[in-house]
């Protein structure tokens, strides 16, 4: 019903920044909450941040103060601004809004 395409991942040094984008198409009217998850090798997929249509946000404790989630309802797009990146942030980041995106790799390394 909902198709999601993520972009913006890549390789960055510790302390650097990246901005992820997720564009949704399909049954957009049904989307209330959009969220970012991440999954590192050998670990469970975990919630990073979520945002409602009205702009209410929720963050996982490890990213509080460093990451910011936002959305543009007119563009059906959610963003994740990631600052002060740490090696432990390395993971595949997935967008979720009714369905799962394919993921985008974020690697934080010197």
Using CA atoms, how far apart are residues 31 and 59, in angstroms rounded to an integer? 19
Q: Does 30 have pLDDT greater than 80?
A: no
Helices (H), 21-99: none
Q: Does 29 have pLDDT greater than 80?
A: no
- Quote the pLDDT of residue 38: 98
Asked if 62 and 51 count as a contact pair (C-beta separation under 8 A), the reply is no
* Backbone torsions φ then ψ of 63, nearest 5 degrees: -110, -5
Looking at the chain, the whole-number percentage of residues with pLDDT higher than 70 is 100
Q: Scan for tokens 């984008």, then name that residue.
A: 21
Q: Which of 2, 46, 9, 41 has its CA nearest to residue 24?
A: 2
* Mean pLDDT value across residues 72-80: 92
Using CA atoms, how far apart are residues 49 and 94, in angstroms rounded to an integer? 11
β-pair type (104-108, 10-12): parallel
Structure tokens at 87: 């090696």
């Amino acid at each position: 019903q909902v198709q999601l395409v993520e972009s913006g991942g890549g390789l960055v040094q510790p302390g650097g920044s990246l901005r992820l984008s997720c564009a949704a198409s399909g049954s957009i009217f049904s989307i209330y909450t959009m969220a970012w998850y991440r999954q590192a090798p050998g670990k469970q997929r975990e919630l990073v941040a979520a945002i409602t249509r009205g702009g209410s946000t929720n963050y996982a404790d490890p990213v509080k103060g460093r990451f910011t989630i936002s959305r543009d309802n007119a563009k059906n797009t959610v963003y994740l601004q990631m600052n002060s990146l740490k090696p432990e942030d390395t993971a595949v980041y997935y967008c979720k809004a009714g369905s799962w995106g394919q993921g985008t790799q974020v690697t934080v390394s010197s």
